[in-house]
Each structure stands twice: as C-alpha cells, then as structure tokens.
Amino acid sequence: MRGLKIAGLIILSFILFISLIAFGLAFSLNRTALNPDFVTAEGDRLEIAPLASEAMSQMLQEELSEEALGSLTETITALEPHLKGKLNTIVYSVYEYLHGERENPELANLLRLTLLNSDSIVAVIDTMDGPQLARIIWEVFGEEILQEFPLPKEAFPHLVAGFEELLTDLEPWIKEQVKYAAGPIADYLAGEVESFSITISLEPLIDGLRGMLLGIFLDFPPDELEGLPPEELEQAFDAFWAEFSEEMLPTPFQIDETVIGEDAPLQIASFTSTVETVLSKVREYVGYVRLAYILSIVVSALLIAGIVLIYRNVKGSTRTLGIVFLASGLVVLAVALIGKNVGGEQILQAMFAAPPQLQVWASQVLVNLLAPLQWLGIGFIAGGIALLVVSFVYKPSQTTD
C-alpha cells in the first residue's frame, strides 16, 4: 500500500510539474502576444517618424532635397498619432476575431473605416502647412518649371520663396479640393466603386502661378532677353506660359482611376484576402493556447488536491508541493532568462542592417514579452520556498485521549 502511495505521489507531482510549466507559458502568451493592450502599447512606443525619415533619405535622396525630406518628416511626425490611432483600432478588431468574439475579420470593411476613408486622406493634407507643401511640390515639379522658364540662377531663391508664398495663400483652397476628392478616391480604393471621375478647376492656382512667375520673369529675365522693355518681356513670357500651362496645368483637371492606378483596388483586395487566410489559421492556434491555459489551471488544482488527499497531513503535502513549485519556478525562470539572452542576440543578428532605433525597440519588445514569464517563475520559486518552510516549521497539534 505504501508503494502505491509513493508511486501515486511521484506521478501526480510530475504531472503537476508539467502542468505548472504549461500554465506559465500560456499565462505569458495571454498577457502579451494574445493581449491587444500589450500589442498596441508596444506599437505606441515605436516612433515612426524617425524611421520613415531615414528610409526616405535612402530612397529619395536623389529626388528630394534635405529641406523637402525635412518637410515630409514633419508631416509624418504630426500625422503619427492619427495613424497609430487607426492602427490600434485595426488591432483591437483583429483580436476580437482571434479571440472568437466575431466570426469574420472583415478586413476590407475595417480598412474602409480606418485607413481608407476620407478622414484619413484629409488628415494627411491637414497636417501640412503651405511652406511644407510647397517644398514637396517644388521638388517634384520645380525642374519642369525651370525648363519652361530658363531663368538665371539668381532668380531661383525668389522663385522658391514665391512658390511657398503662393501655396500658403492657396492653402484653404487646396485643402478644400482634397476634401472634395477624398471621398470618391477612398470609395475606389476600398472597392466600393469600379471607377470614378473628379473634375477640379485649377483657375486659382493657374492665376496665382502666372502672376508669380511673371513678376520674377520681369525682374530676372533670361540672359538672351536681357535689356528688352517690359512689354516685349511680357510677350515672351506669354509664349513660354502658353506651352507650359497647356502641358502641365490642364483646365479643368480630372482625377480618375487611371491617375490612382487601375489595379490598386485589386491589390488591396488580394492583400486583405491573404491576411484573412493567415488570420484564420492563427485563430486556431490562439484557441489551443487559450484552452491550454484553462486546462492547466483546472488540472493543476485537481493535482494539488490529489496530493493533499494522499498525504492527509500538512507537513507532507507542503513539502511535496514546495519541491514541485520550486522546480517549476526554476525551469520557468530559466526559460525566460535564456529567451532574453539568446533571443536578444538573434534579434541583433537578424536586424544588423536595421536602424539602431528599431533594434532597441525590438529588443525591448522581447524583454516585455518575457517579463510575465520571468515574474511568474519568481513567484513559483517564492511559493515553493514558502511551502518548504512551512513543512519544516509546522508541528502537528497533539491530541489527548
């Protein structure tokens, strides 16, 4: 009988040891990777603007000047809270699907309500002021303007300053046109319409640009026209302007699916379909983890009760449970510490070419990811030591006949 008791205790203790480790892993995942609050908090810690600035500097250093890149960085910095808010909404919605709170992720509709809506498009232009917008547009179209108007070099600073002043004055009009076009563009990108067409009159821009260019042309005429009276200079300017405006500034200006990209909605639909397929598989694994979490709690409680019933005394029960909890805690703590050290090295190797800021962020994510497991291991160790202390100091009460 004593042999059966010992065998039963060994089996129950070993299963409890395994169950506590499984509980620790499932508990850590539930508190981190499977918790949308953790994911959004880690995402909020990542500063997008510096990363975007560095990426743009590498990709667009030949197309845009440092000043224009600085304007884009300022825009992204101002836009970052809005963008993160939209992304957090997507994260919470996706986790509702992963946790079984909704039957379909409906990513296409989710994108339509967050990133691909008129508010998001308008937010981009609302974060930019006139000078910022002018620097970016000038970098794109300035060279073509200079080709049509061969002005001397001393006119360039005045040309850029005049262009910034013009767009600053036209800022309310520009934002009004963007708001007008944002809705149809968003509907098209979301796949709600197969085609669209928006007509915008460029008369305010054309009139302002012509007046600005004419003034600079008269003050700084091309070398071959130097010395001509203002009337003849203006006639020469009209010839340049007629060719430039016909090619670069059509009136009215029309935006349709050919401008945005006829395959853009298909690419977005294909992307959402692929992600939904991946999410359906992830949902299965999430279900397994959540089930393992619940079962580990129930099984551990039953095993503890079984050990107590076999001993039927405090001293033996606390000694055995103390050893099991102490051993489980050491294993869980070791897994967390090894994961931090080995995982940290792997991250640094894998992200060797990534920006330092991204490396630091990823390393901190790993630390935060393993923190619940580490603290749980310490808790198991403390609980095991406490139970062992009880087993040594506890003295059963003496009963008298």
pLDDT tens digits, residue range 61-79? 555 556 666 666 777 777 7
Q: Could you tell me which residue, 374 or 132, shows the higher pLDDT?
A: 374
DSSP SS3 for 198? strand
Res 361 pLDDT > 70: yes
What is the C-alpha separation between 194 and 269, in angstroms, rounded? 13
Q: For 154-175, how does the pLDDT look when each residue is reduced to its tens digit (9 = 90+)?
A: 887 888 788 888 888 888 888 8
* Overall average pLDDT of the 226-247 stretch: 84
What is the C-alpha separation between 349 and 365, in angstroms, rounded? 16
pTM of the full predicted structure?
0.76
- Lowest-pLDDT range of 10-14, 29-33, 390-394: 390-394
The domain spans of the chain are: 2-31+282-391, 36-125
What is the C-alpha separation between 116 and 190, in angstroms, rounded? 7
pLDDT at 190: 81
Q: For 261-277, how does the pLDDT look when each residue is reduced to its tens digit (9 = 90+)?
A: 888 888 888 888 999 99
Res 378 pLDDT > 90: yes
What is the C-alpha separation between 15 and 163, in angstroms, rounded? 76
Q: What are phi and psi of 105, to 5 degrees?
A: -70, -30
- Paired strand residues for 256: 197
* Overall average pLDDT of the 282-289 stretch: 92
CB distance 120 to 183 below 8 Å: no
Res 401 pLDDT > 50: no
Of these ranges, 39-48, 244-253, 340-349, the one predicted with the greatest mean pLDDT is 39-48
pLDDT band at 56 (very low <50, low <70, confident <90, very high): low
CB distance 316 to 322 below 8 Å: no
Q: Could you tell me which residue, 373 or 255, shows the higher pLDDT?
A: 373
Res 281 pLDDT > 60: yes
Contacts of 26 (CB under 8 A, 6+ apart): 289, 290, 292, 293, 296
pLDDT at 400: 43
pLDDT at 195: 86
